[in-house]
A = this chain, B = another copy of it.
Amino acid sequence: MADTLHLAADPVELTAALVDVPSVSGDEADIADLVERSLREQTSLEVVRSGNAVLARTTLGLPRRVILAGHLDTVPVNDNLPSRLEDGVLHGLGTCDMKGGVAVMLNLAATTDDPRYDLTFVFYDCEEVEAVRNGLGRIERELRQWLDADLAIVCEPSNAAVEAGCQGTMRIELRTSGTRAHTARGWMGVNAIHAVGEALGRLEAYQARTVDIDGCVYREGLQAVKIAGGVAGNVVPDECVLTVNHRFAPDRTPEQAEQHLREVFEGFDFTVTDRSAGALPGLHTEAAQELVRAAGGTPVAKLGWTDVARFAALGMPAVNFGPGDPTLAHTRQENVPVNQIQQCREVLRRFLNHG
């Protein structure tokens, strides 16, 4: 491993160099050290370290500030290291999720000489694991003032398109109850598994909303993700638990989404086991409009839940914008087209610098 990275060089080579420093969640010390040393060579930046996160910012006194954020960790190695460049595509763990985006950020940190905005770069740890360990959450608790800005760009893979906002997610456990009996005398019992059939029927018939916000189209969903019930092979079961995942457009709060589910599952008991608010796209703000213009395309809705929602909750518009196909994330085959890395760097350079 090199002592420092040559941040101003080709971001594709930079991506490969980052991929070749393994950084599975919880094991990001090496890559954080490398990123920190490399950023400290940039005399124009104020740099702080927080655990295995590294933050850097300009302090030019400009009226507006943009955050660029990306996580340093990856999911576990799956026989897909080191990186390998082939026919214009860089293969390997983290190429797509999200060292291509991190490389673009590092390159911009070293090459943005005449910015229109003050810039804050956030490289953080433990995004791929349970939310309580997420480095961005720790930064929010410990370095809150570093997260003030007019726009946040999370460089997660988005096929180099501006993906705005994100949907909320909620999980519920719907529980039916009955009365046990021997199946030889089944009529003496009440079958809790039979009772869940009605809830499944409502799921099958459910018409999910499609919601247009700021030109971004969010397509909701309501899916059973788990079902479990049964006592023994000769017993009428007295309980069945159905777990349902609801993805809801950011025009609804989690409270409104829960209320909706109370209506859908009227007559059934359920508890909410997990919920995360969505994020409105916020594309009407000036900084966001400028980014959309620089990207030159039509922004699209982000459907999955990402850390964009954390920034949105802090009161700023937040978008995903990064190289790579998000559907390849977490697959053994993950890769990133080199031209998307270059395109993201160009779009962001155009956006961040004075014409």
Contacts and interface: CB of A to CB of B under 8 A. Distances in A.
5 contacts: A169-B183, A184-B305, A187-B219, A197-B204, A225-B233
**A201, A224, A228, A235 — most chain B CB neighbours (10 Å):** A224
B204 A303 contact: no
A221 interface: yes
Contacts of A201: 197-198, 201
Contacts of A235: 225
Contact of A227 (B186, B193, B236): B193
B233 A274 contact: yes
**A199, A229, A232 — most chain B CB neighbours (10 Å):** A229
B193 A224 contact: yes
Given A224-B237, A225-B232, A225-B237, A245 B183 contact: yes
A171 B226 contact: no
Contact of A245 (B195, B225, B233): B233
A227 to B, nearest CB: 5
6 nearest A-B pairs in the assembled complex, by CB-CB distance: A197-B200, A226-B230, A186-B221, A193-B224, A184-B304, A184-B303
Contact of A191 (B167, B224, B228): B224
A309 to B, nearest CB: 13
A247 interface: yes
A229 B229 contact: no
A253 B245 CA distance: 44
Contact of A247 (B169, B186, B327): B186
A242 B200 CA distance: 13
A182 interface: yes
A239 to B, nearest CB: 11
Contacts of A189: 223
A184 B197 contact: no
Contacts of A305: 184
A29 interface: no
A231 interface: yes
Nearest to A221: B186
